[in-house]
Chain A
Amino acid sequence: MANGTTVTVDDLVAWVHRFSEVITEHADELTQLDSAIGDADHGTNMRRGCRAAVDALAAAEPGDITGFGRAIAMKVISTVGGASGPLYGSFFLALGTTGGSASEMDAAGTVAALKAGVEAIRTRGKAEPGDKTMLDALLPAIAAMEGSLDNGGSLADALQAGTTAAEEGMRATIPMLARKGRASYLGERSIGHQDPGATSSWLLVRSAAETLAA
């Protein structure tokens, strides 16, 4: 493949396993962040949904990327709840649809699928960059991945660049005034707190880097 790596369905499943692990590790921290500017449930929601997604993938044994996306999306949508359930669910659904009936993706295909997922979050939630949401971690991550591939980077390079950008994006939410989600109810008081959804999104990108190009 173009950059010497392919991502298989097994890799994607490994990604979700890893994501579930790190979400479980960070669940209290995510809930903590959400109690500052939300309703103290983001970690609990994500942990519940990720565990269910891992089980659903084991039961579904998807054979192609679309099947992977559908299996996890339906589970995430029906178990996470909150705002992040439909948003992350839409992410995986679109990622799967873009990956199509293939059983593996090359580097460009992988980044394109991730990008389609992020665009689906944007369409569903109608948030824009700077609104203090998960998009503030995800959009810069996708841009960094695309930039890295354009400069001849491997998938591993791209995902690494994406992780760094997601982390920066996540930190950049601290001074932002929330305009979407529960945090927006706080107005000025949302300033000075890191967005919980941007934090789980950084973990999503980071676990992709740890699994998809390994």
Chain B
Amino acid sequence: MKKLINATDDVVVEALQGMEHAHPSLKVVYEPKYVVRGDAPVSGKVGIISGGGSGHEPMHGGFVGMGMLDAACPGEVFTSPTPDQMLEATKAVDGGAGVLHIVKNYTGDVLNFEMAAELAAADDIDVEAVVIDDDVAVQDSSFTAGRRGVGATVLAEKICGAAAEAGRDLAAVKELCERVNANGRSMGMALTSCTVPAAGKPTFELGDDEMEIGIGIHGEPGRERRPVATAAEVAKMLVDPILTDLPYAEGEKALVFVNSMGGTPLIELYIIYNEVAKILAEHGIEVARNLIGPYITSLEMQGCSVTLLKLDDEMTELWDAPVNTPGLRWGA
């Protein structure tokens, strides 16, 4: 394993220390761990927190700030954070208007956030939770853990953050978050695996001429292994299942989010974006907004994911609203 670290046990804490030095507008609490807006709690504003395993940077800590999250709870690499973190973060951001938990659908995250919400309710804080499950690679069924939460999480955090900033109440922000989830779909692929620092070796082996289709964001193997293909073919493998799952009518608008898993450079993301745009044009789908870059990563994995969000005017307006976080910033 080759990594720019000091000791595997210190990875999360030292990265947080770096964030703290780099971004004075944020506050980092270490016992228990969470990253919070320096001006929290914002009185009268719905607080929004998210959290999950580390290794997906900039998500979630990098999305804390004006117009997005109020706090983020980082777990160990690829491991859910714990209820004590979520409870303290919830208290820290409660400005009297309640707190929304944006939870990615992984058993660990769901169970830990559930316990945190029970504890917060006991402290008389109004907490609502929305579970994001946008990954079409996973067959959905009520008998299973269901779909994973991936790219749509970033979009939900941005759009709901803007809504909270605009003064909407908890019920409205929650409804919006559910709407983003219902209209967002993602699919990811990997060219390489990644190495969890504590494990020391790649989570799975991929031959030089192989790729995994339908991966999540934790270095887990996907649904099928295939010979490597061209960007055009890969784009099709990612977009087709999304459009099958959530068809678009001619003229409907989409936000296209092409995300790097960490190791794939921007030049390749643009090639994929170009191919995605062609496919959408064939379907008569208007690409109204886009986001291209590493936003929800899987350590150093090479690969990408595509998320399509079917936009309405309200979501578009909230997407365009100012945001000022380490990972996403415009208009502010």
Give A contacts to B, CB under 8 Å.
Answer: 31, 35, 38-41, 44-45, 48, 77-87, 124-125, 179-182, 184-187, 189
**A83 — which chain B residues lie within 8 A by C-beta?**
80, 106-108, 111
**What is the interface residue range for chain B against chain A?**
35 or more
- The answer to whether A41 and B198 touch (CB under 8 A), given A78-B84, A81-B112, A186-B220, is yes
- The verdict on B67 contacting chain A, using a C-beta distance below 8 Å, is no
**A84 — which chain B residues lie within 8 A by C-beta?**
108
- Bound CA span A87–B108, Å: 9
- The answer to whether A187 and B139 touch (CB under 8 A), given A85-B112, A87-B111, A124-B111, is yes
- Tell whether, in the assembled complex, residue B199 and residue A44 are in contact, meaning their CB atoms are under 8 Å apart: yes
Q: Which of A38, A81, A87 contacts B82 (CB 8 A)?
A: A81
- The verdict on B121 contacting chain A, using a C-beta distance below 8 Å, is no
Render B189-218 as a binary contact track against A, CB cut-off 8 A, 1 for contact: 000000010110001100000000000101
**B112 — which chain A residues lie within 8 A by C-beta?**
77, 81, 85-86
**B219 — which chain A residues lie within 8 A by C-beta?**
39-40
- The answer to whether A182 and B115 touch (CB under 8 A), given A78-B32, A82-B79, A85-B108, is no
Segment with Cβ contacts to A, from B140-148, B152-160, B300-308, B321-329: B140-148
Give B contacts to A, CB under 8 Å.
Answer: 32, 53, 75-84, 106-108, 111-112, 114-115, 137-139, 143-145, 148, 196, 198-199, 203-204, 216, 218-221, 223
Q: 13 additional contacts, CB 8 Å, given A35-B204, A39-B218, A81-B75?
A: A35-B199, A39-B220, A41-B196, A77-B82, A83-B107, A83-B111, A87-B111, A179-B144, A179-B145, A180-B144, A182-B106, A184-B138, A185-B220
A192 CB to closest chain B CB, in angstroms? 13
- Tell whether, in the assembled complex, residue B145 and residue A184 are in contact, meaning their CB atoms are under 8 Å apart: yes
In the complex, 15 of the A-B residue pairs with CB atoms within 8 angstroms, ordered by the A residue number, are A35-B199, A40-B196, A40-B219, A41-B77, A41-B198, A77-B112, A78-B83, A81-B80, A85-B111, A125-B111, A179-B145, A181-B107, A182-B106, A182-B220, A189-B223
- Bound CA span A83–B80, Å: 8
A20 CB to closest chain B CB, in angstroms? 17
- Tell whether, in the assembled complex, residue B106 and residue A79 are in contact, meaning their CB atoms are under 8 Å apart: no
Q: Which of A31, A77, A80 contacts B115 (CB 8 A)?
A: A77
- Bound CA span A82–B114, Å: 13
Q: Which of A41, A125, A184, A189 contacts B221 (CB 8 A)?
A: A189
